[in-house]
């Protein structure tokens, strides 16, 4: 697959940022603790579902110290409508314990330390750092992966390699581009039935599954 020219990349970036100027996560949170928990829960689970789960969880465990003392079984009960809730409950409590014991209750703010926390991989760390600190990082979830391939920004097989391709392509404003690609993939370039008729990148897309629009609307 021939990847995009630098000019095309700039144009895709420009339109993404123009279309989603203030894009933020749709996960609801009030502080770094709540964001980290919400992002951990969102792995293989929709943001909508996570937003249904977290109010009760944060009411019962409003701080990282509270979560560190939680009974894993109780956390399981509170998050049981989430995929992989058994593992997630264990990881949430272990993560909170480590933050309290190793970091004095303060969630680390850099990637190297964040990924040492149980259940926090590179993608979770990047999403948190992008969302909370606006760091110039990329994270590749299912939406970003799909969009990157349909738009020929990457032909990599793995999310890690795709992330590298996107970093190389876009270079700056990565946090904003990431947020925009998530929303674009979630609402326009959807996995099934992409809304090509309302796509602001239609003329730049040559994906074979793109819907053909009639001449009038093109």
Q: Can you give the binding site for ligand SF4, defined by CB under 6 A?
A: 150-151, 188-189, 194-196, 199, 201-202, 205, 207, 210
123 counts as catalytic: yes
Given 123, 203, 206, 212, the catalytic residue: 123
The least CB distance from residue 185 to ligand SF4, in Å, is: 8
> What phi, psi does 144 have (nearest 5°)?
-65, -40
**Nearest of 182, 142, 189 to residue 20 by alpha carbon:** 182
| Burial (Cβ within 10 Å: 0-12, 13-18, ≥19) of residue 118 | middle
Angle between helices 32-41 and 85-103 (to 10 degrees): 150
66 counts as catalytic: no
The least CB distance from residue 8 to ligand SF4, in Å, is: 13
Q: Work out the number of other CB atoms within 10 angstroms of the CB of residue 55.
A: 10
The least CB distance from residue 105 to ligand SF4, in Å, is: 44
Nearer to ligand SF4, 51 or 190 (CB): 190
Q: What 3-state DSSP class applies to 63?
A: coil
Nearer to ligand SF4, 125 or 201 (CB): 201
Nearer to ligand SF4, 103 or 202 (CB): 202
Which residues form the catalytic set? Answer: 123, 141
């Amino acid at each position: 697959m021939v990847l995009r020219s630098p000019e095309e990349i700039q144009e895709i970036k420009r339109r993404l940022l123009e279309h989603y100027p203030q894009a933020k996560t749709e996960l609801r949170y009030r502080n770094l603790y709540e964001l980290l928990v919400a992002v951990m829960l969102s792995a293989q689970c929709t943001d909508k579902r996570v937003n249904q789960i977290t109010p009760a969880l944060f009411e019962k465990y409003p701080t990282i110290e509270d979560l560190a003392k939680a009974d894993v079984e109780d956390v399981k009960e509170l998050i049981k409508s989430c995929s992989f809730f058994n593992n997630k409950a264990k990881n949430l409590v272990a993560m909170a314990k480590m933050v309290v014991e190793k970091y004095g209750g303060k969630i680390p703010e850099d990637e190297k330390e964040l990924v040492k926390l149980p259940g926090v991989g590179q993608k979770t760390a990047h999403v948190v750092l992008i969302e909370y600190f606006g760091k110039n990082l990329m994270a590749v979830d299912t939406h970003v992966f799909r969009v990157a391939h349909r738009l020929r920004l990457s032909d990599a097989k793995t999310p890690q390699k795709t992330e590298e391709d996107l970093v190389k392509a876009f270079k700056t404003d990565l946090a904003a581009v990431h947020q925009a690609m998530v929303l674009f993939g979630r609402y326009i370039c959807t996995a099934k039935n992409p809304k090509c008729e309302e796509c602001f990148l239609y003329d730049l897309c040559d994906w074979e599954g793109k819907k053909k629009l009639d001449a009038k609307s093109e």
